[in-house]
Structure 1
């Protein structure tokens, strides 16, 4: 029976303990902030990135891992005859999946590359499922349909109290340009099919607070179907912690992750932003 090994990228929301327990291999993205370049998770932590972003007057940048980094990991993991399943963040936010696909063609290992369509915990829901099944001896052919099921019920909403980073980064295109005419506008975007779409917009922080509270109430009402929930944030954890507690009071068994998000989301979303990420079983 062929062993399957799991590879992902550093935009994922996983703890070091989870990575070790499930033998998940992470390829780091490259980030630039304050005029300095770093390797995500290796030469800069998420909290350090946010601090440097707050101090800089330049928009941070991120870039996909080098193809050679993927090839090196793929080749090493396949030395014992194992196959590799690489699950990456959406191509809508990064070229990481393209680097992985190109590396798969160059590697001596049999590699299957999947675009998760998401990032952060939207990516980790799929990666954890794949890793659990791989440890149980499942083949890639058996794993992929289960990932599709998770992907189809995953929702990612990112609440942004300011549009500065998302507009400068160009991720909302022409629609963002029209929003810049408003003062103190806040938005909630949904990451769907690899693209950012505006789910709610309005003046003031109450816009995103009310949207998020309504979404949390919806999760509480359907808590028996929740497979996982995450509140990832850039620098302010007040609302994420509040929402976490509300869900735990009603559904203590539901796994909830409340942590600083990756530099990818921090860069695009900006200070004060947070994400609501979940999927239904």
Structure 2
């Protein structure tokens, strides 16, 4: 009987217990802060990254794992009748999935690589489901079909209270960023089919608060909310407010709250609060 093992990258939002209990292999991204290179989740924690980014001379740089790191990870999972399913963050923010695809061609084991079209806890929904189905003896085809369903039923939003990192990272025109700063412009991002879209923008925090009300209203229109993730970039207080709200709205539904990954923190900056959820019909 074929055994399927699960791999993913360090942008995923999973607890140490979830990783250990489900035998999930994490391949870390690389981070560079003022010339010093770190291995995400190995030589630097997410909290430490936020602290270092706050005093860095320049915007930190993130890079996908080298192909060799993926090959080593896949080969370590190899065995008789073993297949690997490698699930990664959306290609619109990182070339990680392409490094994994190239490594899959070089590995001595059979590897299937997919783009989750999301990241953070939203990607965690897919990774955890895949790991649990693999443990139940489900086939690769069955797992992939279920993950596609999850993709189609997952929403991911990020609030961006400061535009500095979007400008510094080249994702927003500098002139627009300066004007946005002067006018106190706030942005809400939605990830749609793996692409970053602007869901709302306006002056002041009222823009973000108003859009969160819209998100809450939309969540109530679905038949069920299966699981929720609330992540933040150094904004625990704001994240706790969101988590408390959705826990009250959907008692009994899993709500996972944690600091987001360095790649998200780098791209959108401190103060970000993200909410993501899987819904039923």
TM-score (structure 1 length as normaliser): 0.94
CA contact (8 A) 1:186 1:205 kept: yes
Q: What is the SS of the residue equivalent to 2:165?
A: helix
When the two structures are aligned, how many residues end up with a matched partner?
A: 278
Residue in 2 aligned with 1:261? 260
**Superposed displacement of residue 207, structure 1:** 1.1
Q: Tell me the distance in 2 between the aligned counterparts of 1:222 and 1:192.
A: 19
Q: Is 1:227 the equivalent of 2:226?
A: yes
Deviation at 1:222, TM superposition (A): 4.4
Partner of 2:179, secondary structure, is: coil
TM-superposition CA deviations, 1:213-263 (whole Å, max 9, x none): 3313433x2475112111100001122111211222232211111110000
Matched with 2:75 is: 75
* Aligned-residue offset at 1:165: 0.3
Aligned partners of 2:272 and 2:264: how far apart in 1? Answer: 9
Q: What does residue range 46-195 of structure 1 map to in structure 2 within 5 Å?
A: 46-172=46-172, 178=176, 180-182=178-180, 183=182, 184-195=184-195
Maintained 8 Å contact 1:32/1:60: yes
Distance 1:196 1:43 in 2: 29
Check the 8 A contact 1:223/1:254 in 2, yes or no.
no
C-alpha distance in 2 between matches for 1:110 and 1:259: 33
**Matching residue of 2:32:** 32
CA contact (8 A) 2:225 2:250 kept: no
User: Quick one: distance in 2 between partners of 1:92 and 1:27?
Assistant: 19
C-alpha distance after superposition, 1:47-68 (max 9, x if no partner): 0000111111311111000111
> SS of the residue aligned with 1:102?
helix
| Aligned equivalent of 1:246 | 245
Equivalent position SS for 1:181: helix
Report the Cα offset of residue 32 of structure 1: 1.2
* Structure 2 CA distance for aligned equivalents of residues 180 and 198 of structure 1: 18
Q: Is the 8 A contact 2:156 2:191 kept in 1?
A: yes
The 3-state SS of whatever aligns with 1:41 is: coil
2:20 pairs with 1:12:
no
Task: Give deviations 1:93-119, integer Å, cap 9, x for gaps.
Answer: 111101100000001100000000111
Query: SS of the counterpart of 1:126?
Result: helix
Aligned-residue RMSD, C-alpha: 1.5
Find the residue that maps to 1:279 and give its secondary structure.
strand
Contact 1:230 1:278 (8 Å CA) reproduced: yes
Q: Deviations over 1:193-219 (max 9, x none)?
A: 222111110111221122123313433
- Point out the more displaced range, 47-56 or 79-88: 79-88
Distance 1:179 1:130 in 2: 40
The answer on whether the counterparts of 2:6 and 2:23 sit within 8 Å (CA) in structure 1 is: yes
- In 2, Cα distance between equivalents of 1:195 and 1:35: 30
